[in-house]
Amino acid sequence: MSQRMEDSHRGFLQAMMRNGIMDRQEAKRLCKLCCERYKSSHAPDNLDSFIDTINSKLQPLFMQIRKGMSEDDGNQHYVLVNTAETDITRMSSDYADNELELFRKTMDLIVSSENGKASSTDILNSTDTMASKKMKKSQTEQLLKRFVCDKWLSEKQGEYTLSTRCIIEMEPYIRAMYQDQVKMCHICHNVAFQCQICENPTCGIKIHNPCVARYFKGRVEPRCPACEDFWPHEIPEFQQRQSQSKR
């Protein structure tokens, strides 16, 4: 049975509505602050139980605070999502039809790539095949900046990836739309874009880079957890961020 919704829960939800996404450290600090401010009877050290109480009240409103992992650093994040809408149409109130088409094309490029990235050049070239109103180069560049600012995409050195918010919020859509192209991480079982791939042609499992770091840590001879072939890739090192996470 879920606990009663208190002012501490309402304060936490209001902050989530403003921010849209928080990493686990931010969410824990906010939970503690709200519990102290409103003298809550809920234990602030049990974040998931605290959020479950909020979700039990959000369910009839077709909303949910959903948890997922950042492919960038392996940290957990919480995203406030609208569960009534199941795909990119949830963005339709903020973007025009041709802007949504560009986002779909960008997602197509990212999903079909080997490294989960799309270059700015390829995205700009994709506007030539748009069915809706065409965009100038300057308009496309400004729209990409807006996608990054709104936390739908991430950008580094001219290459774009799906942001943590996008992957967590749109995972059901991604699984359904790209079911033949998208693979799940063998360790955490979430969709995998930034990852390493087993080179055994009969295996080919994917593992997120942070999951690789955790799984193979301390192992003398890394072997694929599925086929037990030698894992030839460099094992990355990840440190959990204690401050603001990059999204």
Least confident of 44-53, 55-64, 139-148, 220-229: 44-53
Average pLDDT rounded to a whole number, residues 176-205:
92
- Burial code (b: 16+ CB inside 10 Å, e: under 16) for 197-207 equals ebeeeeeebbb
Confidence at 103, pLDDT banded by 50, 70, 90: very high
Instruction: Dump pLDDT digits (tens) for 113-156.
Output: 988 999 999 999 999 999 888 899 999 999 999 999 999 999 99
Tokens of 139: 């308009």
Instruction: Provide the pLDDT for residue 87.
Output: 56
pTM equals 0.82
Nearest Cα to 28, choosing from 212, 225, 240, 247? 240
Instruction: Provide the pLDDT for residue 243.
Output: 38
Average pLDDT rounded to a whole number, residues 56-66:
92
CB 51 within 8 A of CB 65: yes
pLDDT at 3 over 50: yes
> What are the strands of the beta sheet with 153-156, ordered from one edge?
118-119, 159-162, 153-156
Distance CA 240, CA 213 (A): 11
Identify the bridge partners of residue 185 per DSSP, sorted by sequence position. 206
Helix and strand numbers (H, E) in the chain are 8, 8
Identify the bridge partners of residue 154 per DSSP, sorted by sequence position. 161
Instruction: Provide the pLDDT for residue 246.
Output: 40
Domains of the chain: 7-84 (3.90.1150.220), 89-177 (1.10.10.10), 184-235 (3.30.40.10)
Q: What is the DSSP secondary-structure string of 58-85?
A: HGGGTEEEEEEE-TTT--EEEEEEETT-
Confidence at 86, pLDDT banded by 50, 70, 90: low
CB 8 within 8 A of CB 41: no
Confidence at 41, pLDDT banded by 50, 70, 90: confident
Percent of the chain at pLDDT > 90 equals 67
Instruction: Dump pLDDT digits (tens) for 204-238.
Output: 999 999 999 999 988 889 999 999 999 999 998 87
Distance CA 64, CA 56 (A): 9
Q: Which residue has the higher pLDDT, 15 or 73?
A: 15
- Number of residues that this document lists for the chain: 247
Confidence at 8, pLDDT banded by 50, 70, 90: very high
Distance CA 132, CA 117 (A): 24
Nearest Cα to 146, choosing from 193, 96, 108, 88? 96
